[in-house]
Amino acid sequence: MTILAKESERGVQSVPIEQLIDRMERWENYSIAELGPYLKSLEIDEAWIDAHMPDPMPTDAYHRNLIYQGRRFEVVLATWPIGGGTLVHDHGSLSSLGSVRVLRGDIFNQVYRLVDRDTVKPVHREVFHTNDIVPVDHGLIHAMGNACQSVIAMSLHVYFPWIIDVSYWDPETNKRIPTRL
Ligand SMILES: [Fe+2]
């Protein structure tokens, strides 16, 4: 597992992440109901989080670090600068499922729903705090971002299967952003 060499070079233990990957590789059937509590139970220490802060830190949007891509799932670390966030998006043509654990700070989850083929409408906004789990269910359309004005936030995302062919919507107009071919 390449992750091990990288982590030991930094002198930071990544045992919980190794356990997560190992367990996910062995699971027969993935479900949010099982993944969410397991992700929440992982003891990820502050030193690991500090060691994974991107340098340089993005000034807007967010930083995406693909930690691991298995045959049937992927693990992504997201770092959210102050004021940072995603566009409105879905989870791709495979309608991937998953769970997100907030590792540090507060993260908002703004949920949308389609009102016609190309237009979404905001329906629900919730703020999640450190160690909370955000479920990503079939068909979810949402935007996430840092909900705090003083703390850089970080979150660990596990998706199955991999996310491909994501659709985006403009948060100002709520209209679909055409994808370039
Ligand atoms: Fe998402």
Cα–Cα distance measured from residue 28 to residue 147, given in angstroms and rounded to the nearest whole number: 36
Q: Walk along the chain (181 residues) and give the pLDDT tens digit of each residue.
A: 445 445 544 556 677 999 999 999 999 888 999 999 999 999 999 999 999 999 999 988 999 999 999 889 999 999 999 999 999 999 999 999 999 999 999 999 999 999 999 999 999 999 999 999 999 999 999 999 999 999 999 999 999 998 999 999 998 999 999 876 5
**DSSP assignment of 112-125:** EEEEETTEEEEEEE
Evaluate whether residue 1 is within a structural domain: no
46: CATH: 2.60.120.10
Residue numbers belonging to the annotated binding site for Fe cation: 89, 91, 142
Provide the token pair at 169: 């919507």
Cis-peptide, bond into residue 135, ω within 30° of zero: no
What's the pTM?
Answer: 0.90
Cα–Cα distance measured from residue 48 to residue 59, given in angstroms and rounded to the nearest whole number: 22
**Cα 67 to averaged position of ligand 1 atoms, centre (Å):** 16
From residue 24, how far is each of 19, 28, 34, 38, 72 by CA, in Å?
Answer: 8, 9, 11, 10, 9
Range of 158's domain? 7-177
| Number of domains into which the chain is organized | 1
**Cα 144 to averaged position of ligand 1 atoms, centre (Å):** 7
